[in-house]
A and B are shown apart, each in its own frame.
Chain A
Amino acid sequence: MYDFNYQKPAAIDDAVKALGSDPEAKALAGGMTFIPVLKQRLAKPSTVVDLAGLGLSGIRREGNALVIKAMTTHREVANSKDVADAIPALAHLASHIGDRQVRYRGTMGGSLANNDPSACYPSAVLALGATIRTTRREIAADDYFQGMFTTALEPDELIVEVSFPIPEKAAYEKFPNPASRYAMVGVFVAKTAGGVRLAVTGAGNNGVFRHTAMEQALSASFSPDAIRDVKTPEGDMNSDIHASAAYRAHLVGVMARRAVAACG
């Protein structure tokens, strides 16, 4: 990897300042994505701003929402009683991200900022209609994800926390890529007072997306059978050595039905 300056600020403002004053500066959270990227020399930051000193981890209830701070690790989400009580599907999702060592270090903020098309969290954030609170503003999930590895974040804008409205029921079903174990197809479905939202990760050729046809069918009748005949357009699917577009489209249906069934 290329060398860089390392900073570990103790206040959010200082972190934002460090990132704002230098366009080549980059934030470091758990490093589970960023460090492999650095090792491959695919990024050449001048300064790496470590967010570990900002006190940005923790999980709390706020009215009918669950608020998770950006630096909360996958492991903490997976093991949290608050999460298990409010949105067990989210704990289930977190417990299946990567491996044990990745879950100890990887964070929700890092995952959402990175927006890997096969990451798990984006589907939960989108399906639950969560709000991303940053150092500048609040961003609705529907506005936040802007295609593969692209988000609404500005270079010196940091995710501070994410607020998840608590659904009536929700579930996540993941079909892992056999090699990387990231989501080859992941479906998060949530039934809320306002209707059903269903988001798909891993499969789309433009990152995480809402499957509106399935949402409509499930809003009419929340059962696996309701979406049995709902097609997923192959043209919107990603394709690689592990799964063709046709296979991915098929798996979206299977995972969606399993997710709905898992909601009970």
Chain B
Amino acid sequence: MPQVKLTVNGKPATAEVEARTLLVEMLRENLHLTGTHVGCDTSQCGACVVKIDGKSVKSCTMLAVQANGSEVTTIEGLAAADGTLHPMQEMFREHHGLQCGFCTPGMVMSAIDLVESHPEGLTEQQIREELEGNICRCTGYHNIVKAIAAAWPLMHGRELPQAAE
């Protein structure tokens, strides 16, 4: 069986897995990181989103072997060692951006990537469009969109540009 070596949330992680093992399966079953969820089988819901080498990907649509040698960040790796939440986590909490919490890990991982890759600012409409790969059945997205807009200034250390409002 192939051996897959990753750096997960800053720590080395190795597992022997079948070639067919999905990254999400390795994370959940082998590494016991059950914060990453599976909500569908057609690569659409985004419950499984993690970051690989800085980019958000659907870990249900990637083989573990494809990720070999990569840096993976999961929802478990966001908060500081002392438990301080990442600003995106904090804003989801502040703005009630989650209800049942099942879509939440993927939603937060996508949202972080989204904010990081838009240093020029983000409009509400852009946030809505860029969340295409994440489905939430509980919140109606209203508070998720609010949380992401509120996290932008915290993550970039400046006001959200007016033009982008």
**In A1-35, which residues have CB < 8 Å from any B CB?**
1-6, 8, 28, 31-32, 35
Q: Does A100 contact B (CB under 8 A)?
A: yes
Q: Does A243 contact B (CB under 8 A)?
A: no
Determine if B56 and A100 form an interchain contact, defined as CB atoms under 8 angstroms apart: yes
Top 10 A-B residue pairs of the complex, sorted by shortest distance between their CB atoms: A99-B133, A6-B19, A99-B132, A104-B55, A3-B20, A101-B133, A101-B58, A1-B20, A35-B61, A6-B65
Residue of A nearest to B42 (CB): A36
Seen from chain B, the residues whose Cβ lies within 8 Å of a Cβ on chain A are 2, 18-20, 22, 41-44, 46, 49, 55-58, 60-63, 65-66, 110, 113-114, 130, 132-134
Known: A4-B19, A101-B57. 15 other contacts (CB 8 A): A3-B18, A6-B63, A31-B61, A31-B66, A38-B20, A48-B63, A98-B132, A99-B134, A100-B56, A100-B130, A101-B110, A101-B133, A102-B43, A104-B56, A181-B132
Determine if B49 and A101 form an interchain contact, defined as CB atoms under 8 angstroms apart: yes
- Nearest-Cβ distance from residue A49 to partner chain B, whole angstroms: 12
Cross-chain pair count, CB within 8 angstroms: 72
List chain B residues, Cβ under 8 A from A8: 65
Dominant SS among interface residues on chain A: mixed
Q: List 6 A-B contacts (CB under 8 A).
A: A5-B19, A36-B61, A39-B41, A99-B133, A101-B57, A101-B110
Question: A1, A5, A31: which contacts B62 (Cβ < 8 A)?
Answer: A31
Determine if B66 and A50 form an interchain contact, defined as CB atoms under 8 angstroms apart: yes
Determine if A100 and B113 form an interchain contact, defined as CB atoms under 8 angstroms apart: yes
List chain B residues, Cβ under 8 A from A36: 41-43, 61
Q: Does A52 contact B (CB under 8 A)?
A: yes
CA distance A32 to B61 in the complex (A): 6
Q: Does A105 contact B (CB under 8 A)?
A: yes
Seen from chain A, the residues whose Cβ lies within 8 Å of a Cβ on chain B are 1-6, 8, 28, 31-32, 35-36, 38-40, 48, 50, 52, 98-102, 104-105, 180-181
List chain B residues, Cβ under 8 A from A38: 20
Determine if A35 and B62 form an interchain contact, defined as CB atoms under 8 angstroms apart: yes
| Residue in A36, A39, A99, A181 with the greatest tally of chain B CB atoms within 10 Å | A99
Determine if A2 and B43 form an interchain contact, defined as CB atoms under 8 angstroms apart: no
Determine if A100 and B133 form an interchain contact, defined as CB atoms under 8 angstroms apart: yes
List chain B residues, Cβ under 8 A from A100: 56, 110, 113-114, 130, 132-133
Determine if A3 and B41 form an interchain contact, defined as CB atoms under 8 angstroms apart: no
List chain A residues, Cβ under 8 A from B61: 31-32, 35-36, 101, 105
List chain A residues, Cβ under 8 A from B41: 36, 39-40
CA distance A48 to B133 in the complex (A): 26
Residue of A nearest to B58 (CB): A101
- Nearest-Cβ distance from residue B27 to partner chain A, whole angstroms: 16
Determine if A52 and B66 form an interchain contact, defined as CB atoms under 8 angstroms apart: yes
List chain B residues, Cβ under 8 A from A102: 43, 58, 133
- Nearest-Cβ distance from residue A5 to partner chain B, whole angstroms: 6
Determine if B63 and A35 form an interchain contact, defined as CB atoms under 8 angstroms apart: yes
List chain A residues, Cβ under 8 A from B114: 100
List chain B residues, Cβ under 8 A from A32: 43, 61
CA distance A31 to B66 in the complex (A): 10
CA distance A39 to B44 in the complex (A): 14
List chain A residues, Cβ under 8 A from B63: 6, 28, 31, 35, 48
Determine if A6 and B62 form an interchain contact, defined as CB atoms under 8 angstroms apart: no
List chain B residues, Cβ under 8 A from A52: 66
List chain A residues, Cβ under 8 A from B55: 104
Determine if A104 and B19 form an interchain contact, defined as CB atoms under 8 angstroms apart: no
Determine if B19 and A98 form an interchain contact, defined as CB atoms under 8 angstroms apart: no
Residue of A nearest to B52 (CB): A104
CA distance A38 to B21 in the complex (A): 11
- Nearest-Cβ distance from residue B23 to partner chain A, whole angstroms: 10
CA distance A38 to B61 in the complex (A): 10
Question: A35, A39, A40, A48: which contacts B19 (Cβ < 8 A)?
Answer: A48
